[in-house]
Structure 1
Amino acid sequence: MASIRILTILVYVIAVPHGIDSRENDYIDSDPIVAAPSPWPVGTYGLLMPTDGCPSTSIYFYTGQRKFDTEDSDPNNNWSSPCHLGGWYGKNNMELQFCIKTVLDVNENAWPAGEYCIFRFGGSCPYGMSEGRVGWDDEDSDNENSHGGTLPDGVYDSNTHIDFCCQTSGSASASINLPTNDNFMLFQYNQYQCQEVDGMRATSEWFRWDTEDRNNEDYDTGSHPYKGVEDDNDDIKLHFCYYERI
């Protein structure tokens, strides 16, 4: 009688605690997105949440949000048309929403060479990516900044400081392979174009934060999304790319 052998495969994952306030390390309630197969590249990191919501994947994305209290006097936040950012935004104040991948699966592929940025999460960038930070000098008077859920690495108090990871070792015009099951967003690193992704149509979009007018202390450092601080050292403008299936 032929013997039957059963092969057991063990998959090891390293989990970074979710629901952590990056400023105070206090746990905050956060519900995971229901998952479906379509693994993203290796590492713990964050993506911008588009109007479609977070991507489906075999690894959970947790959600979070940051309210920016922008300049109250003659407020002038501005954005591209179209703009697929999740959350809400207006001339005065806006909310940015995040999709945070908190689990490191050893079976995942590395992030491919190219020119794009994502949020840092878990204290370091995925292999091959460079770190940077952007700092927003938010409204000084009656500041109403707030946050919740799972956030990118950074500091979230009366001002906002967010850490980024950027891939700079390739060309934006050389197409890369990423999951195509869902629409998603990457930050634009190349000044002139979005990173090309196989099977996806990219739309370049942007948002400009009208930050504090008095004694403004906006800054950017290291590798960060284009453009960062505006040329007049007052206001932050970031470019991002919305990807949808062709």
Structure 2
Amino acid sequence: MFGCPESDEYGWSTGYINLTLFENSRNFIWNDDDLFTFEPHILGPYTQHAMQMNFCVMKSNITILDDDGDEDDKVNRTWPPGNYCIYRTGEECPFGFNEGSLNIRGYNYSLGGNLPHMLFDSSSNFALVYCCREDGKVDQSVHLPSEFPFFLYLGPSTEKCQEIDKMDWKLDEFYLPYDNNSWLDELLPNFLSHPTHTSHIGLPLCYYQPIRKRECMYKTDDGASYNGQLNVTKYGNPCDLWTNVTLDFTSNTQWIGEFENNFCRKTRLDPPSCYINSTRSTCNIPECEKDSLSVFGKGRSYNAAKHDEQNMPSYVLDGLIRTGPSYVSERPSSKPWYLLNLEEYIEVHAIVIHRQKVWYPLNNRYVGTYVSKHRWDFLTYGAYRCDDNRNPWKHKIFRFQCKRPIIGQYVSVKNYDITDPGHEEGFLHYFEIDEIQVLGRSTMCGRRLGLITGDVYDYQIESSSHKDHDHQFTFGRLFRPENGWCAKPFDNVPWFMVDLIVPLKIQGVELQGIKAGQNVKLISSFNILYGIDRNNLATYEDPKGTIK
């Protein structure tokens, strides 16, 4: 959920395949846990009847970091020996790998972007093609990128994930409806070594994340979000293990924080520190490099989990910090959330949460932060994570620093603390936020072009026909009180066209249905045509050759 293993300069590209079960099919199960505590690492979105598989693709072992022709800027990389699997991307597997395939049947599918090699034999059947190797010891650490989290498939002959330098791993399984093991062909990830649900198969995914943490602190929150591994005081004395510190906040469950091993952490006092013989001692943690980021959020639109009238969600974006009331979710509420609409594409670097009330039951002990280009992606695991799920503990300011800048329009915050609604029902924690500040840079993209605001005038809009006076093309705008646009019943090729006057880069099209009483009219499918000559429009394709 954090993107590809390395930055874009290394030549990574992305693609996806959307899988939709037929209406009479069973639902996805996804995982081996209950649906309440399920918090996946793999990017979606996925629902009970559909999912999106996302891919990071690199089609060359030679990466050119600079295009000036200098041989020193070329990196020639090979896959190390080991016991793991990857997707095939070229005409054949890399040296040292053997090929296998998993046939996927019974889905409607659509494709986009750059994809690994797949085999298609009908509108509902295709095969994922794997490259696997088992020529090394799984416990012998190998060198692969270690800057960002990523996935490999479990090797063909192992129950453990391949060890990788500077990375921790966790074995995840993602389940797909599946009926016949004979559809497994040649050398594959170790599918059959793990329990499967009835008529499902678990894809064995090894999730890797860097061991190394950020070794600096931000003054924004006075080091509250520091989770590095410094474990000596500013005088060079080794810190005691937190488990040996006999203070209330290290043992009481209402005070649990990110107190790992003997690493320096910010407690109720500033700055980050540790304890020696129950005596607090300050740690010398350098300040992170200052960046020239703008603050976004104030006055923007939002959505939020249920609340009471005294704690409105609008308070989160009023620009007032520790002045006046804050937003508090209703109770009980499992996984309460808050969604901020930035109303344009922002390159998000960090999300800062301000709070007023940090005592039980207003605990935020397992908080996720997400950035996406679509409003509800965070509810279906289709949004990119900014930071790991973190524990803000009793801190009134906490900075979620994104692992890498993420471009998106929507920022969401979700509290996962006590996610099982069957456990002490009625005693789930409240979710309280005083203010959200998004730190980043404007991309000057993603802004609405004027069909809502009226900056696109009626004379710029045309249509093939209109049903009647109440459904004219001038009503084809979002959030208008009129009935919207509708073509004549016998218009066999209906179209709706907007003249933007000057050439622009279009990043998306948003549609809204028509609701009249109990009746709702929605568009089931459409094509997008574009161009600078109305008599010579091209159909949008993604990937090239596939009409979107």
* Offset, 1:226: 1.9
The answer to whether structure 1 residue 98 and structure 2 residue 55 are counterparts is yes
Query: Which residue is equivalent to 2:103?
Result: 135
Gaps of 5+ in 2: 33-37, 63-73, 212-548
CA contact (8 A) 1:131 1:163 kept: yes
Structure 1 residues 217 and 69, CA gap change in structure 2 (3 angstroms): farther
**Secondary structure in 1 matching 2:41:** coil
**Equivalent-residue separation in structure 2 for 1:192 and 1:242 (angstroms):** 14
Q: Deviations over 1:98-122 (max 9, x none)?
A: 0010223185232111111000011
**Equivalent-residue separation in structure 1 for 2:105 and 2:199 (angstroms):** 9
Give runs of aligned pairs for residues 92-241 of structure 1, distance below 5 A: 92-105=49-62, 107-139=75-107, 144-156=108-120, 157-189=123-155, 190-211=157-178, 219-227=183-191, 234-241=199-206
* Offset, 1:232: 9.2
* Offset, 1:131: 0.7
**Secondary structure in 2 matching 1:65:** strand
**Secondary structure in 2 matching 1:145:** strand
* Offset, 1:159: 1.4
**Secondary structure in 2 matching 1:79:** coil
The answer to whether structure 1 residue 59 and structure 2 residue 26 are counterparts is no
Which amino acid in the other structure matches residue 88 of structure 1?
P
* Offset, 1:79: 1.8
CA contact (8 A) 1:207 1:238 kept: yes
Q: Deviations over 1:82-139 (max 9, x none)?
A: 4211121222221100001022318523211111100001111111111111111124
Which amino acid in the other structure matches residue 167 of structure 2?
M
Q: Deviations over 1:45-81 (max 9, x none)?
A: xxxxxx0011224431111101122364331332254
**Equivalent-residue separation in structure 2 for 1:70 and 1:207 (angstroms):** 16
Q: Size of the alignment, in residue pairs? A: 189
**Secondary structure in 2 matching 1:99:** strand
Q: When the two structures are superposed, what TM-score results if normalisation uses the length of structure 2?
A: 0.32
The answer to whether structure 1 residue 76 and structure 2 residue 44 are counterparts is no
Which one has a bigger Cα radius of gyration? 2
**Secondary structure in 2 matching 1:163:** strand
Is the helix fraction higher in 1 or 2? 2
Which amino acid in the other structure matches residue 68 of structure 1?
L
Identity %: 29
Q: Deviations over 1:132-173 (max 9, x none)?
A: 11111124xxxx311111111112441120111112111211
**Equivalent-residue separation in structure 2 for 1:69 and 1:126 (angstroms):** 31
* Offset, 1:192: 1.4
**Equivalent-residue separation in structure 2 for 1:167 and 1:233 (angstroms):** 29
Gaps of 5+ in 1: 1-50
CA contact (8 A) 2:21 2:50 kept: yes
Structure 1 residues 128 and 233, CA gap change in structure 2 (3 angstroms): farther
